[in-house]
Amino acid sequence: MIKITFLPDKKNIEVNEGTTILEALKRVGINIDTPCGGKGICGKCKVLVVEGITAASIEKEFLSEEEIKKGFRLACQTKIFQDTIIEIPSKIRLDFKKVFSSNLKGDINRIKNNFSLSTNVKKVFLDLKKPSLDDQRSDWGRIKDGLSPKKIENISNLKISVEILKKIPILIRRANFKITVTLYNNEIIDIEKGDTTKSSYGIAFDIGTTTVAGYLVDLNTGEELSAIAKTNLQNIHGDDVISRIEFTQKRKENLEILQREIVNILNEIIKEIVQQAGVNINNIYKITIAGNTCMHHLLLGFNPSYIAPSPYIPVIKESLNLKAKDIPRLVLEPTANVFMLPNISAFVGADIVGGILSTSMWREDKTVLFVDLGTNGEIVLGSRERLWTCSAAAGPAFEGAHISTGMRATGGAIDKVKIVNKFIAYRVIKDVKARGICGSGLVDLIAELLKLGLINKSGKLIDREECKPELSEEIRKRIIKGPKGNKFLLVKGKETESGNPIFLTQKDIREVQLAKAAIYAGIKILLKEVNISPEDIQEILLAGAFGNFIDKESAIRIGLIPDLPLEKIFSVGNAAGRGAEIVLLSEKTRKICERISKDIKYIELSSRADFQEEFIKAMSF
Amino acid sequence: MIKITFLPDKKNIEVNEGTTILEALKRVGINIDTPCGGKGICGKCKVLVVEGITAASIEKEFLSEEEIKKGFRLACQTKIFQDTIIEIPSKIRLDFKKVFSSNLKGDINRIKNNFSLSTNVKKVFLDLKKPSLDDQRSDWGRIKDGLSPKKIENISNLKISVEILKKIPILIRRANFKITVTLYNNEIIDIEKGDTTKSSYGIAFDIGTTTVAGYLVDLNTGEELSAIAKTNLQNIHGDDVISRIEFTQKRKENLEILQREIVNILNEIIKEIVQQAGVNINNIYKITIAGNTCMHHLLLGFNPSYIAPSPYIPVIKESLNLKAKDIPRLVLEPTANVFMLPNISAFVGADIVGGILSTSMWREDKTVLFVDLGTNGEIVLGSRERLWTCSAAAGPAFEGAHISTGMRATGGAIDKVKIVNKFIAYRVIKDVKARGICGSGLVDLIAELLKLGLINKSGKLIDREECKPELSEEIRKRIIKGPKGNKFLLVKGKETESGNPIFLTQKDIREVQLAKAAIYAGIKILLKEVNISPEDIQEILLAGAFGNFIDKESAIRIGLIPDLPLEKIFSVGNAAGRGAEIVLLSEKTRKICERISKDIKYIELSSRADFQEEFIKAMSF
């Protein structure tokens, strides 16, 4: 065992040799910002090794030589083999004040919300008089009287549920009439033995088609205590929302199956996250949920059948203020508050409302373009004056589907590509042998080939002979003729896991063209609606996992987004999850979400005659 | 088959020979007032046989000779054997206006409520525009917009539950967007296909320890459509609330057993009552429940453990505004409203609040004494100025328990006794051979024996030799000496079902003394509190089944109630059930109930030093 000391906290921990700094930090209870989840691909978790020797490796990609010399290392990649003292820079530490009210998360500094902490959850400790023949107040009457001097708003109209009343008689006597009452607005949602006023928590969820993320926060301080993301296990029924909807239509019980699956994931996240943070699950008093419209409907057991076919009708768009008991099998106390952020339309969901909220674009003077890139690209354009939105069916190319060697952005996926002179440099997630290419790698590769002229404006991968004379032979000979057009050799068989080479085919390029054309045409339609040109956009925000990892320059080069100076383009990460967290911590933002959902102008692309035209125009590079 | 025609409706029905008029009336859908439930013991269901011959029998007890000659008969007792025309006098017909707002029910004319019909349930038919690409409103948004011109209060704040939202997408399309929306206050509680605005119902319940009664009413008209009473099957766990509470304490699951049993009875009543009235169970939109505090707690699954021991603390006294889904396994739609009338104390429950409401004593200038006679005698005294209440533990003598040949007031029970000269006249319920004696018979018998001097002031059944000389030998020789005091032969063995004689023993008299002393001492304590004497009472109301059948003169003679002129004493029947019905139909009375429960002064007899003294005084006759 070796000892690590963290500064400035002076917290010590003993760990096994070879433990990473990030693991040690988690165990000692210090949370730092790890946008990439500790994969070594974002370079954000920079800590200073004050005493003790650690080797630098991947750091060279992210840190300057001088920084490395000073002792800066990436916490997620650095393993410790001797007693070490490490300083954690305050700017990467996660606590409420920073995460929530300042521009912290590296590139995602567009998340600059200044919302006051107002959770509407209040815990009050009461030391009550015991009953006697002279004082025959009911148990509830006694508690109510105890609360009355405690400055509770609207106390004359206090509500209490059957669930809580059931607990009371035994509980207050076991507690010797010393209890903590938890109120949410003017409703009693919990009564506990003794003084538990310090334990008050909530979880914000973002339910995506692919990934479900949960963020545990302390409702007393606003601090984020823990975050967990898990795969949405519904993916066995199809990768996208359309296939999930089709699944519900096959048999009556399938809707319940999908509902149960989402609830199971939420339950797993809840159980793990409270364990991680050492929090009592019964002290989770509220959760907020942002998700796309289909996930929203499936979670609540609403039939999503009319989302998919034209005219694309959801059951409800408004936000819903529920209790945990409204969602069958959810592991929370039945009285816990569940707030579902509002949707905008069948294909622009509560996740986008969360994104608009957390990026502050609803109150910006600037004209901002927000793009959440996925199977559906949700696009928002506008300023505080007015917002417009649409959903463009990009297809699954950016998720790696329909691509010859495409894959999701997981271990073995090539997620970055650069071609310098005769060399092709690529990065593989988890630093293993390459298995395939994911969306951001694909965009990089096509951008590089465009730059070198190997792909022409129409998207054709040219013949070797057509290449510019200055192109190196090594690159040129990677173009291989085939019956269905040319293909480009990215990785040779000896460098891949399977032993098979990784190619980019002409068909792959066509798939990317279709995807980017859909997004760009959507952007163009919104620009027309707002009556501005691309140059009038003052800021572009890229949301979602793909939006977080995509190379901005490559995205511009392939024509996925308008050509803006790079410093005006920001990756905002999980803006939806952050939105759900804001709503959890700042209750007044519920109304803001409702207003965003109501006031935004939704443009139905399928009813626009000019969409096809813009789409075809956007196909070329 | 024979034909019966009812006037003035001119309704015809074909029935088997031997069918009673009451049965025929039920089947033809004419409701009449039958306070005794058709047992032939109240004489209220007087109808006129216009054509056709029917024999008169029991009628002689209730009708004048002239009436019988004219053709008046009791509907419940008269069987029809030929084609007959019968006129139903309007004053015995049950419809909303009469039952609800006038003094109809014979002796129970103290129920004179003039409440306006305001159920807060509103059904609205909507013929909605179908969705299209130009009109992508959500299903719920479409419905909400459809409601907005319909003059609904607080429409901007409309609420809808997950249950209803789940139904919407399939339902509105099957209904071709022609739907009926049901609102309760500003919440959507039902959506149905087509126009169902005419179908809107509610049920009022009185949950007693022994009997559970349900009253089905039309919420559009206020008409009572049907009434059903059933035995509370919890009685297998004990006859009184104390034994039920003890049962819950034996094993953890017993509380749930008792809860399930009450819910089962409610479910049976609901299913039968809707079938009887030909009503769809899904159109039951609200129910109200009056019951004693223990039944209230058991229904909701509240632990009643602290009701029974001193200092007698209920979980809650306030009214509760719930949904059907808050009561597990209740067969109603989960969104149906459930209103629990408020309690007053551990032993003065919501049934008494219902009684105070329905008898109007809360708004009377007169000083009224209300006594609900049962195992616990609940007593209320006062006027609109102020009300006082207490609960006196009478014990089960009036229910026939602890009495040598005692029984409940069911078939075979002697419920009336008169001694005239040498004859003893008695009436047996259902006109079968006597099996025992019930409370009202017991009170009659003791009153008669007191009148004849066979029981002295101290309650002693005197020896034959001590009898007054003018007493007939036939009566005198019914006094029989025994080792534990004398006993009085009421029915000879040859006249009883079992062949064993029915006696009144000295111990039986002592039991009745204890019971009546408890009630009377309770009344005395209240009189002291109010600082008035018995003569100041201007009206006495006797509630409950026993209170309905007891002979007032006998009750006064044995000293159960103060000696008031008979015309100032009224039996008010199931005042609790009637109260629940008023609350169902007139929503503003919910607040009145709350105020009654809050403002009434509860006197805890067990903490009164003078109770024992009054009790001992009240023991003698």
Q: Which of A133, A315, A604 minimises the CB distance to B606?
A: A133
Tell me what percent of the residues of chain A surpass a pLDDT of 90: 67
Query: Which of B140, B168, B604 shows the shortest C-beta gap to A136?
Result: B604
Distance of residue B581 Cα from the nearest chain A Cα, in angstroms: 23
Mean predicted confidence (pLDDT) in B216-232: 90
Is residue B271 within 8 A of residue B281, CB to CB? The reply is yes
B361 vs A91 pLDDT, higher one: B361
- Grade residue A111 by pLDDT with cuts at 50, 70 and 90: very low
Cβ <8 Å between A303 and B169: yes
Nearest Cα residue to B125 out of B78, B93, B172, B169:
B172
Chain A nearest C-alpha distance from B7 (Å): 50
**pLDDT at residue number B399:** 83
What pLDDT, on a 0 to 100 scale, did the predictor assign at position A4? 92
Query: How many Cα atoms within 13 Å fall on the side-chain side of residue A441?
Result: 31
Q: Which residues contact B531 (CB under 8 A, 6 or more apart)?
A: none
Contacting residues for A195 by C-beta, under 8 A, at least 6 apart: A125, A178, A180
Chain B residue numbers with beta carbons less than 8 Å from the beta carbon of A174 are none
Residue A108 has pLDDT above 50, yes or no: no
- The Cα–Cα gap between B8 and B88 comes to 7
Substitution target in B128, B132, B165, B326 with the highest count of A β-carbons within 10 Å is B165
With 80 as the cut, is the pLDDT of residue A97 above it? Answer: no
DSSP per-residue codes, A344-390? -SSSS-HHHHHHHHHTTGGG-SS-EEEEE-SSEEEEEEEETTEEEEE
Residue B578 pLDDT greater than 50, yes or no: yes
- Asked if B288 contacts B217 with a C-beta cutoff of 8 angstroms, the reply is no
Q: Which residue is closest to B340 within chain A, CA to CA?
A: A162
Q: How many CB atoms lie within 10 A of CB A97?
A: 12
Per-residue model confidence (pLDDT) at position A105: 37
Higher pLDDT: B232 or A126? It is A126
Q: Which tokens hold the place of B18? A: 């031997």
Q: Which of A325, A213, A228 shows the shortest CA–CA distance to A279?
A: A228
Which chain A residues have a beta carbon less than 8 Å from that of B132?
Answer: 311
Q: How far apart are CA B77 and CA A77, in angstroms?
A: 95
Task: Say if the Cβ atoms of A138 and B313 lie within 8 Å.
Answer: yes
Residue A357 phi/psi, 5° resolution? -65, -50
Residue B261 to residues B212, B335, B338, B343: CA-CA distances in angstroms?
12, 22, 18, 21
**Residue A397: is it exposed, middle or buried by C-beta count within 10 angstroms (0-12/13-18/19+)?**
buried
Query: Chain B partners of A335 at a C-beta cutoff of 8 Å?
Result: none
Of B133, B166, B604, nearest to A604 by CB-CB distance is B133
Sort out which chain B residues have CB atoms less than 8 A from A140's CB and list them: 315-318
Q: Enumerate the residues of chain A whose CB falls inside 8 A of the CB of residue B313.
A: 131, 136-139, 169
Q: Chain B: residue nearest A300 by CA?
A: B162
**pLDDT digits over A248-261, tens only?**
999 999 999 999 99
Q: For residue B586, give the DSSP letter.
A: B
DSSP-derived 3-state class of residue B589? helix
Which of A165, A173, A315 is closest, CB to CB, to B168? Answer: A315
Look up residue A151 and give its amino acid: K
Residues in B closer than 8 angstroms to A310, CB to CB, are 133
Of A402, A423, A341, A375, nearest to A596 (Cα)?
A341
CA distance A378 to B239: 67
Cis link prior to A311 (omega < 30° from 0)?
yes
pLDDT digit string, tens, across residues A473-495: 999 999 999 888 999 999 999 99
Q: How far apart are CA A379 and CA A611, in angstroms?
A: 14
What distance in Å separates the CA atoms of residue B207 and residue B293, rounded to the nearest whole number?
10
pTM of the model: 0.80
For residue range B536-560, what is the model confidence (pLDDT) as tens digits? 999 999 998 787 789 999 999 999 9
The 10 Å Cβ neighbour count of residue B154 is 10
The DSSP 8-state label assigned to residue A341 in this structure reads P
User: Is the pLDDT higher at B56 or at B300?
Assistant: B300
Tokens at B603, concatenated? 């006197």
Tokens of B459: 């309650």
Phi, psi dihedral angles at B428 (to 5 degrees): -115, 130
State whether A162 and B301 contact (CB < 8 Å). yes
- The mean pLDDT of B242-260, rounded to a whole number, is 94
CB pairs under 8 A between A and B: 128
Instruction: In whole angstroms, give the CA distance from residue B399 to residue B379.
Output: 17
d(CA B367, CA B57): 41
| Chain B residues near residue A131 by CB distance under 8 angstroms | 306, 311, 313
Query: A173: which chain B residues are within 8 Å (Cβ-Cβ)?
Result: 306
Shortest CA gap A608–chain B (Å): 10
Partner-chain contact A317 B140, CB within 8 Å: yes
Residue A249 CB: number of other CB atoms within 10 A?
13
pLDDT for res B213 = 92
The per-residue pLDDT of chain B, averaged, comes to 90
Rounded CA gap, B76 and B91, in Å? 16
Cα Rg for chain B, rounded, in angstroms? 27
Answer yes or no: is pLDDT of B33 > 70. no
Place of tokens 């399309």: B173
Which residues are paired to A480 by β-bridges?
A487
Cβ within 8 Å, pair A316-B133:
no
Q: Is the dihedral of CA A429, A433, A437, A441 positive or negative?
A: positive
Q: For A169, name the nearest residue in chain B, comparing CA atoms only.
A: B315
CB A540 within 8 A of CB A323: no
Sheet of A159-160, strands arranged across: A121-127, A178-184, A187-193, A159-160
Query: Is the pLDDT reported for residue A45 higher than 90?
Result: no
Q: Is the pLDDT of residue B24 over 60?
A: yes
CA dihedral of residues A214, A215, A216, A221 (deg, nearest 10)? -160
| Residue A589, amino acid | T
- Is B494 buried (19+), middle (13-18) or exposed (0-12) by CB count in 10 A? exposed
The residue count for chain B: 621
Inter-CA distances, A113 with A217, A223, A582, B79, B408, Å: 16, 14, 8, 83, 73
| CB nearest to B162's CB, from A169, A326, A606 | A326
Handedness of CA A349, A353, A359, A361 (dihedral sign): positive
Q: What's the gap in Å between the CA of B306 and the closest CA on chain A?
A: 8
A368-372 and A539-543 strand pairing: parallel
Percent residues over pLDDT 70 in chain B? 95
Torsion of CA B467, B470, B473, B478, to 10 degrees: -40
Mean pLDDT of chain A: 90
3-state secondary structure of A111: coil
What is the spatial distance between Cα A538 and Cα A384, in angstroms, rounded to a whole number? Answer: 13
Between chains, do A169 and B305 touch, taking CB under 8 Å as contact?
yes
Provide the pLDDT confidence category of residue B139 given band limits of 50, 70 and 90.
very high
DSSP character at residue B128: P
Of the residues B136, B164, B170, B187, the best mutation for testing chain A's interface (the one with the most A CB atoms within 10 Å of its CB) is B136
**pLDDT confidence band for B91 (50 / 70 / 90):** low
Confidence tier at A520 by pLDDT (50, 70, 90): very high
From chain B, the residues in CB contact with A313 under 8 A are 131, 136-139, 169
Burial of B363 (0-12, 13-18, 19+ CB in 10 A): exposed
Kindly report the nearest CA distance between residue A316 and chain B, in angstroms: 5
Distance CA B120, CA B286 (A): 10
Sequence-ordered list of residues with C-beta below 8 angstroms from that of B108, at least 6 positions apart, any chain: B35, B548, B570, B571, B572, B573, B575
Give the one of A168, A311, A317 whose C-beta lies nearest to B131's C-beta: A311
pLDDT tens profile A255-284 = 999 999 999 999 999 999 999 999 999 999
Rounded CA gap, A207 and A264, in Å?
Answer: 12
Q: Using the beta-carbon criterion (under 8 Å), do A316 and B141 form an inter-chain contact? A: yes
How confident is the model at residue B137, as a pLDDT?
Answer: 97
Give the model's pLDDT for residue B11: 84
Confidence of residue A544 (pLDDT cuts 50, 70, 90): confident
- For chain A, the first-to-last Cα distance in angstroms comes to 57
Residues of A within 8 A of B320 (CB-CB) are 162
Going by pLDDT thresholds of 50, 70 and 90, the confidence category of residue B34 is low
More confident position, B79 or B286: B286
| Distance, CA of A177 to CA of A194 (rounded, Å) | 8
Is pLDDT of B36 > 70? no
Query: What are the angstrom distances between the C-alpha of A145 and each of A127, A158, B566?
Result: 11, 11, 45
CB contact under 8 Å between B317 and A135, yes or no, is no
Longest Cα pair distance anywhere in chain B, in angstroms?
104
> Taking CB atoms and an 8 Å limit, are A346 and B302 in contact across chains?
no
Return the residue in B145, B315, B343, B595 with the most chain A beta carbons within 10 A, the one to mutate for interface testing.
B315
The rounded percent of chain B whose pLDDT value lies above 90 is 67
Selected for mutation to probe chain B from A140, A155, A162 (highest B CB count within 10 Å) is A162
Q: Binning pLDDT at 50, 70 and 90, where does residue B411 land?
A: confident
Nearest to B589 by CA among B396, B403, B353, B374: B353
Residue B284 is predicted with a pLDDT of: 98
Quickly state the pLDDT bin for A400 (edges 50, 70, 90).
Answer: confident
Which of A171, A306, A594 to probe the B interface (max B CBs under 10 A)? A306
Residues of A in contact with B310 (CB under 8 A): 133
Asked whether the beta carbons of residue B302 and residue A606 sit closer than 8 angstroms, the reply is no
Q: What is the mean pLDDT of residues B350-374?
A: 93
DSSP state of B32: B
Q: What is the pLDDT of residues A301-323, one digit of tens each?
A: 999 999 999 999 999 999 999 99
Q: Which residue in chain A has the smallest CA separation from B312?
A: A136
CA proximity to B431, closest of B106, B81, B61 = B61
Which residues does residue B87 pair with via DSSP β-bridges, in sequence order? B7, B48
**Residue A542, class by beta-carbon neighbours within 10 Å (0-12 exposed, 13-18 middle, 19+ buried)?**
buried
Q: Report the C-alpha gap between B9 and A264 in whole angstroms.
A: 62
More reliable by pLDDT, A61 or A435:
A435
A310: its two tokens: 């034209």
* Residue A10 confidence (pLDDT): 83
